[in-house]
Structure 1
Amino acid sequence: MSGRSTPSRTGPPAETGTTAVGRPPRPPMGPGRGGPFAGMNVPAEKALNFWPSARRLLGTLRPERAWLVLVIVLSVAAVALSVIGPRLLGEGTNIIFAGVVSRDLPAGASKDEVIAGLRAAGQDSQADMLGAMTLTPGTGIDFTALASVLLWALALYVLASAFMWVQAYVLNGVVQRTVYRLRERIEAKINRLPLRYFDSIQRGELLSRVTNDVDNISQSLQQSISQAVTSLLTVFGVLLMMFLLSPTLAVIALVTVPLTLVTTAVIAKRSQKLFVAQWKHTGELNGQIEETYTGHALVKVFGRQQEVGERFRQKNAELYQASFGAQFISGLIMPAMTFIGNLVYVGIAVVGGLQVASGAMQLGDVQAFIQYSRQFTMPLAQLGSMANLLQSGVASAERVFSLLDEPEESPEAVGSVPAGGRGRLVFENVSFSYSPDKPLISSLSLVAEPGQTVAIVGPTGAGKTTLVNLMMRFYELDAGRITLDGVDVTAVSRRELRSRMGMVLQDTWLFGGTIRDNIAYGRPTATEDEILEAAQATYVDRFVHSLPEGYDTVLEDEGSNVSAGEKQLLTIARAFLARPSVLILDEATSSVDTRTEVLVQQAMSALRSDRTSFVIAHRLSTIRDADLILVMESGQIVEQGTHTSLLAAGGAYARLYEAQFAAPVAEV
């Protein structure tokens, strides 16, 4: 089971070094266990716990502290240069306006003489305005000074843009490395989760957390960090410049702050729950699509397209409503901020015009202040709209964190099975249940000697597959112990344990690769000759030569370009190549035809030589030659013996055998 990890509701996470072949067996259904469409009507998630989740999300950036400091330094430099720009442009406006006014004044007169003449003529307002200006009567526009100011402004904006570009580059690296580590944590977590977790969650829901939610976190971090740092620095820098220009106008601009905070808080509170619902419905819709696609053949066979389509439309409508509501309500933040900014703009324009007329300010200073007011309200609006993105990202982060917080398998041991062990497996008073209130296996004991073939039969739900799951430690025992070659399986690592076991399942699993690669999955270090030997022994070689590319044929979509029986032969060849100490065959020949089954049985006989083998079979004809047959009912071994002795006893095995081979079709 090593290598590629394929999350499933009915299978455990992949673990490196395991030689099991195929998907893990499907445990019997019980209370709370996942069926084909389990989890579609799960209760709604609790409301987003925003601040703890947001702090935890920011905590994932801790390894990037040094780079974040550099991001802040670059942002400070860029914002500082950008903030100085409007002041320089205001100086340019002052030069132009002063030149236009001075051109109409008498040449040779001083500024004081012109002002005195205006006051004598009763034109005090014009005298006050000229008093605030720097000009020489009759000279016109000073283009040299104007060019110098404009060149300085251009240089500042170019440098600011360069700093912002470098900041964006560094920040992109910070976010992508953070998300990279987060994906690694998720992958490692999946490999440490017990099989119980995959029994309780939809595959599509899990995939949505690993893909959609992580991508949303990446986008949210990328945009929100950049906007937050730049916007906050811009607000403080612009506010400082506004107070230097005019404290009166600065106070008017500050009115936007409480209005912005109140408006953002009211809108964000309403959209918060909708964002949680949006990503919840996204996961559920993905789960439904994945299940429908996986079982599309059965959907068509039973004519359930209409019902499936109706369920899809219902779930899609729920996602639409949640997404529309979240985006619409949170989208009100920017228009609201723009409206508040326009009100402030009107106030600044009116009061600033009066101050220019009174000589308290120059025209260029008012122009610069109006630019600053735009620069002041814009980051406030960005901070408000960022709440939209941040809520969505934190909602996704909470879903990912809930996965990372799931209880894991018990800690790994450091012991090992003795080298050369032949696979003596002993169950000592083993008890296990999927649900505490519904016992399944109770005080079960058995001994499987090396080289012995143990067949397990019984009705569906008797605990046959559960028994082999316990051998592989896909589940932990409630009581008792299992030993392999005298060593308690809990005293060795799962990798060590599973490297001694091979499993061939009814539900085959092949990955996208060549036939050679799929066989070699059982033992990656195998030579070409060993791969060919395994293929010939399991009759894979017979059908491979009929394929266009032979062993280099690439399997598509989990082997959709080969038949079900051929896929099963490939998984048997994989187990043959692994040559484990303990072999588990769970309905391993159920998908092959009768003639091929005979051939495979011969191959399996060679494979089982000197190895402990457990064979789960419903077709009793396949286990007649087993050394020991265990008959299970309700988690208990009710009979054990050879095929002949159990038939002679006339008990449960005999009834099963007669039901398959001797009894006519009975009326119900």
Structure 2
Amino acid sequence: MYLPMSRYRALQSAYLRNQRPRVVLLAALLFGSIGLQLAAPQVVRYFIDTTQRGESGRVLVLAALLYLAISLGQRAVALVAVYVGENVGWAATNALRADLTRHCLRLDMPFHKAHTPGELIERVDGDASALANFFSQFVIRVLGNALLVVGILLMLFREDWRVGLGLSVYALLVFAALGVLQKVAVGAWAESRRAETEHYSFIEERITGTEDIRANGAEPYVLRRLYELMRDLLVKDRRAMLLSNLTYVSTNFLFVAGYAIGLGLGAFLYTRGDVTIGTAYLVVFYIGMLGAPLENIREQAQDLQRATASVDRVQELFQARPDVQEHSSATLPAGALDIELDRVSFGYETDDRVLRDVSFRLEPGQVLGLLGRTGSGKTTLTRLLFRLYDPRDGAIRLGGVRIDALGLNDLRTGVGMVTQDVQLFGASVRDNLTFFNRRLGDEQLEMALHELGLGEWLRGLPAGLDTRLGAGGYGLSAGEAQLLAFARVLLKNPGLVVLDEASSR
């Protein structure tokens, strides 16, 4: 079977490296299960032939007990293998989700303007989920089931070379068919994943804009567009499933043909007296056993088709690089910071300029208010200060240091900003103020809230700082949410504070 593992080895190695003991245990369990599956029919063959010879019942009872022990042992080993495999898969995909999330958070504004939150959620979570089996059991199960097929064929050769040869040809045909069919649906699954991403992206954007949609009576348009996206997803997902099921139909057809050949060979050898009835049973049983590993390999091939599309999309996301490059060759001085813009020009589009040759200097402790019409570049200026974008021309200095020579963490720690859109999480008041930083004590938090006139509000909360806020500030007034954003800046104690229409609420 065609397995483009050279493309994925680095990804698997990166997320399974820290789980080597679990992976080794999983491999041992799967291979142990294979050995037990091969041993069980040998006991049955012995039982049948012993019965035919008329030997004592004590021997038959022991054989029956041995068969039961092997069967129960095989089931127990398989159950533990499932448990270990799920742990490996979840640990690997959770690590992948964390890395993808961290990578997306480090990408700059041009990337996030080009990709909606709904799309990124689907890329981070949906594609990672599609790789769970790929990480946990793909290689081991394919290798293990292939070894089980080889073991069955060796056992058949051991009984009679003609049966072994016939079924070997059959197994090779199945593997060849899987090799061809595995590549058929990869493109279709990639299209299906893209359609699913567009679907989730659309839903996320419209839910966020529910208020504006209702205010403008745009519900019919939204529903019509949603129907179009759902129809597109249905068509592409159905096509991917149909192409994947070609593998199922083809392998089932080959299995039925092989089973018929094996039954014919077993009956032929028994009627000629070349094998005992127990051996004939063994041949038929092993032929029946071939169906399970070949079916498992088929399922892994189908999973690989989905995983291939997801791996490509994960690698594409990891390869995205920010336009703003970090150069940590200087640090910000302590205390209040002066700010200087030296002939700064910037535009979001290549031929467009929002800011042209802007120059001014602001001493530490001074306050400057920028007034201008909508679209004149006020918010753009704050984004340049935070290096969410870099200016096309000119330079920006804080404390006498060019901001493009600072580490991004150093820059954004030294500058505090309150925006017109406050982002609050579904978490406690404490976590919303500290961004989950446990180093800030309760006294600091309470002092900041009292200084902003929120002391009475805090005392009225049922659990104080541990009171959980609704996502998006649900249950708070617009003013209270804005003051919480001010409290964040106070706790940060930056050298420069930027307010982007912070009083608009």
- TM-score w.r.t. length of structure 1: 0.69
Deviation of residue 65 (structure 1)? 4.5
Q: 1:477 to 1:524 in 2, by over 3 A?
A: farther
Larger Rg: 1
Structure 1: runs of 5+ lacking an equivalent: 1-48, 100-139, 592-668
Q: Distance in 2 between matches of 1:376 and 1:252?
A: 13
Give, in angstroms, the shift of residue 240 of structure 1. Answer: 0.8
1:71 pairs with one of 21, 26, 41:
26
Deviates more, 1:474-483 or 1:248-257: 474-483
Q: Would the aligned equivalents of 2:15 and 2:95 in 1 still touch at CA under 8 Å?
A: no
1:89-143 deviations in Å (ceiling 9; x for gaps):
11211222x24xxxxxxxxxxxxxxxxxxxxxxxxxxxxxxxxxxxxxxxx3532
Q: Indicate yes or no: 2:39 matched with 1:84.
A: yes
Matched, 1:189 2:103: yes
Change (3 A) 1:166 1:549: closer
Residue 286 of structure 1 aligns to a residue whose secondary structure is: helix
Larger relative helix fraction: 2
CA deviation after TM superposition for structure 1 residue 368, in Å? 0.6
The 1:238–1:550 alpha-carbon spacing in structure 2 relative to 1, beyond 3 Å, is closer
Read off the aligned partner of 1:93 and give its amino acid letter.
Answer: I
Distance in 2, matches of 1:380 and 1:263, equals: 11
Matched, 1:560 2:474: yes
Give the match's secondary structure for 2:475: coil
Give the TM-score taking structure 2 as reference length: 0.90
Cα pair 1:425 1:449 within 8 Å, conserved = yes
* C-alpha distance in structure 1 between counterparts of 2:270 and 2:490, whole Å: 92
Aligned to 2:333: 418
What are the within-5 Å matches in structure 2 for residues 167-178 of structure 1? 167-178=81-92
Counterpart of 1:429 (choices 322, 343, 354) is 343
Q: How many Å apart are 1:365 and its aligned residue?
A: 0.8
Question: What secondary structure, in the 3-state scheme, does the structure 1 residue paired with 2:416 have?
Answer: strand
Shift of 1:485: 1.3
1:522/1:578 contact within 8 Å kept:
no
C-alpha distance in structure 2 between counterparts of 1:59 and 1:529, whole Å: 46
Q: How many residues align?
A: 501
Residue of structure 1 aligned with 2:288, choices 374, 383, 390: 374
Please list the CA deviations of residues 16-61 of structure 1 after superposition, one character each: whole Å capped at 9, or x if unmatched: xxxxxxxxxxxxxxxxxxxxxxxxxxxxxxxxx9666444443335
What is the Cα deviation at residue 223 of structure 1?
5.0
Quick one: distance in 1 between partners of 2:353 and 2:55?
96
- In the alignment, the residues of structure 1 paired with residue 121 and residue 313 of structure 2 have an alpha-carbon distance, to the nearest angstrom, of 12
CA distance in 2, matches of 1:536, 1:552: 17
Give the aligned residue type for 1:252: G
Change over 3 Å in CA distance of 1:157–1:550 after alignment to 2 = closer
Q: Give the CA deviation at 1:561.
A: 0.8
Tell me the distance in 2 between the aligned counterparts of 1:358 and 1:532.
94
Structure showing greater relative contact order (alpha-carbon pairs closer than 8 Å, 6 or more residues apart): 1
Q: Is the 8 A contact 1:260 1:384 kept in 2?
A: no
Alpha carbons of 1:229 and 1:170: their partners in 2 closer, same or farther (altered >3 Å)?
farther
Instruction: Give, as a single letter, the amino acid of the residue that structure 2 aligns with 1:474.
Output: L
From 173, 190, 193, the equivalent of 1:279 is 193
Q: Which residue, 339, 355, 358 being the options, matches 2:253?
A: 339
CA distance in 2 between partners of 1:384 and 1:205 (Å): 31
Question: Within 2, Cα distance between the matches of 1:168 and 1:189?
Answer: 31
- Cα 1:218–1:464 change in 2 (3 A) is same
Letter aligned with residue 147 of structure 2: L
**Deviation at 1:231?**
0.9
DSSP 3-state at the match of 1:454: coil
Match of 1:586 in 2: 500
Query: 1:538, CA displacement in angstroms?
Result: 2.8
Q: Using the alignment, how far apart are the partners of 2:257 and 2:348 within structure 1? A: 65
Output aligned runs, 1:284-433, within 5 Å: 284-408=198-322, 409-413=324-328, 415-420=330-335, 422-433=336-347
Q: Which residue identity is paired with 1:586?
A: D
Rounded Cα–Cα distance in structure 2 between residues aligned with 1:527 and 1:348: 75
Distance 1:518 1:172 in 2: 34
Out of 300-309 and 521-530, give the one that drifted further: 521-530
Cα shift readout 1:482-511 (whole Å, capped 9, x = no counterpart): 221112222322222222211111111112
Equivalent-residue separation in structure 2 for 1:310 and 1:52 (angstroms): 44
Q: In the aligned structure 2, how far is the partner of 1:175 from the partner of 1:343?
A: 36
Paired with 1:190 and 1:61, the residues of 2 have a C-alpha distance of 18
- Aligned equivalents of 1:470, 1:426: Cα separation in 2: 12
* Matched residue, 2:144: 230
Following TM superposition, by how much is the alpha carbon of 1:584 offset from its aligned partner in structure 2, in angstroms? Answer: 0.6
Residue pair 1:331, 1:385 contacting (<8 A) in 2 also:
no
Q: Deviations over 1:267-323 (max 9, x none)?
A: 434322221122111111111111111111111111111111111111111112222
Native 8 Å contact 1:53 1:394 kept in 2: no
| Counterparts of residues 14-163 of structure 1 (less than 5 Å) | 53-61=7-15, 63=17, 64-65=19-20, 67-96=22-51, 98-99=52-53, 140-163=54-77
Are the counterparts in 2 of residues 171 and 226 from structure 1 also a CA contact under 8 Å? no
Match of 1:208 among 118, 122, 135: 122
User: Does the 8 Å CA contact 2:30/2:141 hold for their aligned counterparts?
Assistant: no
Q: 1:327 to 1:65 in 2, by over 3 A?
A: same
Deviates more, 1:388-397 or 1:199-208: 388-397
Alignment of 1:4-19 (within 5 A): none
1:89 partner letter:
V
Q: CA deviation at 1:67?
A: 4.3
- Quote how far apart the aligned CAs of 1:521 are: 4.8
The alpha-carbon distance between structure 1 residues 347 and 456, as it changes in their structure 2 partners (threshold 3 A), is same
Structure 2 distance, partners of 1:490, 1:395, is 37
Q: CA–CA distance in 2 between the matches of 1:566 and 1:229?
A: 60
CA distance in 1, matches of 2:140, 2:5: 19
CA contact (8 A) 1:440 1:463 kept: yes
Q: Which residue of 1 is the match for residue 162 of structure 2?
A: 248
3-state SS, counterpart of residue 457 of structure 1: coil
Instruction: Write the distance in 1 (CA, Å) between the matches of 2:120 and 2:379.
Output: 24
The separation in 1 between residues aligned to 2:436 and 2:40, in whole angstroms, is: 67
Distance 2:30 2:81 in 1: 7
Residue equivalent to 1:455: 369
Matched-pair identity in %: 27
1:270 matched residue in structure 2: 184
SS of aligned partner of 2:343: strand
CA contact (8 A) 2:85 2:137 kept: no
Partner SS state of residue 427, structure 2: coil
Matching residue of 1:18: none
Distance (whole Å) between structure 2 residues aligned to residue 515 and residue 152 of structure 1: 63
- Inter-partner Cα distance in structure 1 for 2:470 and 2:198: 27
- Which secondary structure state, in structure 2, belongs to the residue aligned with residue 387 of structure 1? helix
TM-aligned CA deviation for residue 235 of structure 1: 0.8
Distance 2:419 2:262 in 1: 77
What residue identity is the alignment partner of 2:13? G
1:188 Cα deviation after fit = 2.5
Report the CA distance between 1:338 and its aligned residue: 2.5
